Amino acid sequence: MTTTTTTTTTTNSAPTSTPTLPLPGACACGTIRFHLTRAPLFTHCCHCTRCQRETGTAFALNALVERAHLALLSPTRPVGVPVPSDSGAGQTIFRCPACYGPVWSVYGDGANKIAYVRAGTLEGREVRPDIHIYTRSKRGWVGFGDEGVPAVEGYYDNREYWPEASLERLRILREEGKAVGEAVGESGA
Ligand SMILES: [Zn+2]
Ligand SMILES: [Zn+2]
């Protein structure tokens, strides 16, 4: 059998967002202010039903970044609120204690070194989805105008989709012995 070109874009070809750094973010009321000091590893547009309920809308846009590159600028810290996850490991959503808006979350226990930053809290328009996940539960009217961005029915193997530079950053986290857990392809929505 000969190799044929597939119609979907996969295999480490998805470009990641390249925002101007540091990239500022804030909650709705401005009590929580932070910035990213490195571009996201990868950005999920998640259409799972948990994200729909957690956000109260059709999907969540999560920019994955090392927590070491997520710097809190405000004197007030966000409050971690535990919620269930499909894997059973749980998720902690960090929310502003004044307006209760979500700013980021982590999967698994508090040692997880990758934050899922709610990209709608970030300034500017440079962070965009690198992949659509859990499209099996996407709202029927949602269409994808971002041609070339992969879309998968459930979760995915990050080795198939992340650019090499992001995989290298992940390897460094693992070599440091830091938990990365569900952020990286095992499961979790
Ligand atoms: Zn707030
Ligand atoms: Zn989700």
Taking the centre of ligand 2 as the mean of its atom positions, its distance from the CA of residue 30, in whole angstroms, is 25
* pTM (2 d.p.): 0.86
Across the 189 residues of the chain, what is the mean pLDDT of every consecutive 10-residue run? 42 66 97 97 96 95 96 97 86 96 88 92 91 96 89 95 96 78 42
Taking the centre of ligand 2 as the mean of its atom positions, its distance from the CA of residue 132, in whole angstroms, is 10
Return the domain boundaries, the chain: 23-173
Taking the centre of ligand 1 as the mean of its atom positions, its distance from the CA of residue 51, in whole angstroms, is 20
User: Which ligand ends up closest to the CA of 103?
Assistant: 1
Q: What is the pLDDT of residue 9?
A: 44
**CA-to-CA dists, residue 160 to 110, 112, 117, 152, angstroms:** 27, 22, 22, 12
Question: Options 3.40.50.1820, 3.90.76.10, 3.40.50.720, 3.90.1590.10; which CATH number does 23-173 get?
Answer: 3.90.1590.10
The neighbourhood of ligand 2, an ion, using CB within 5 A, equals 46, 48, 51, 189
Q: How far apart are CA 170 and CA 50, in angstroms?
A: 25
